[in-house]
Amino acid sequence: MPRAFNQLMFTPAVLAHQERLGSAKAYAKFLTDGPQSGHLIGPAEKAFIEARDGFYQSTVSETGWPYVQYRGGPVGFLKVLGESTLGYADLSGNRQYISRGNLDGNDRVAMILMDYANQRRLKILGRVSFTEGEQAAASLFIEGSETQPERAAIIKVEALDWNCPAHIMPRYTEAELRPHLNQLGLEIAQLKAENERLKAELAGK
């Protein structure tokens, strides 16, 4: 069954390296005829996307250079608008507008969404369009964002790929650590109370 990601990314040069290094046979099944897969947002992808508080976004400049930017915000700021559509409110930043300018000349974007705690990542390829103005982005804006939106960014997804978890070093946000820290704090408080009780007992003997 052909996977959309592999069809877009496995260029002749890539295939030549796979053949040379012995991985071509393993990947050949993803380029065969049949119904396409890996181009629609399913329940697993939707849940993963909407639980993220940031993603890495790559565009290409008019000089041919790739540019990677980190986009962050409250959990859920990247919204699933349909089985092949994402959207977010593009917030005011340092006003360099590098990604914005790059996407005028080439609307393709590559995104990587990370879940460091569970060592998972989702790669997305798509095409971006913008609707300028704060009002246009109002329906995508999430309360708690640090700045106001300048435009609505809509991404038409062309391919998705769950990348293998190898080499993802676990990292944890404060929200992910909080339940464990709360439990640790409770245990410490209990131990302190028990310590004080034992000290009082010893002092009374």
3-state secondary structure 13-34: HHHHHHHHHCCHHHHHHHHCCC
Q: Which residues contact 101 (CB under 8 A, 6 or more apart)?
A: 61, 62
> Is the confidence at residue 205, as pLDDT, over 80?
no
> Is the confidence at residue 137, as pLDDT, over 90?
no
User: What phi, psi does 138 have (nearest 5°)?
Assistant: -60, -40
Which residue in 125, 65, 137 sits closest to 99, CA to CA?
65
Kindly list the domain boundaries of the chain, sorted by start residue.
Answer: 1-37, 38-163, 172-205
* Mean pLDDT of all residues in 92-96: 84
Calculate ∠ Cα 167-80-108, nearest 5°: 70
SS3 196: helix
What is the CATH class of 38-163?
mainly beta
Predicted TM-score of the model (pTM):
0.85
* Mean pLDDT of all residues in 50-70: 95
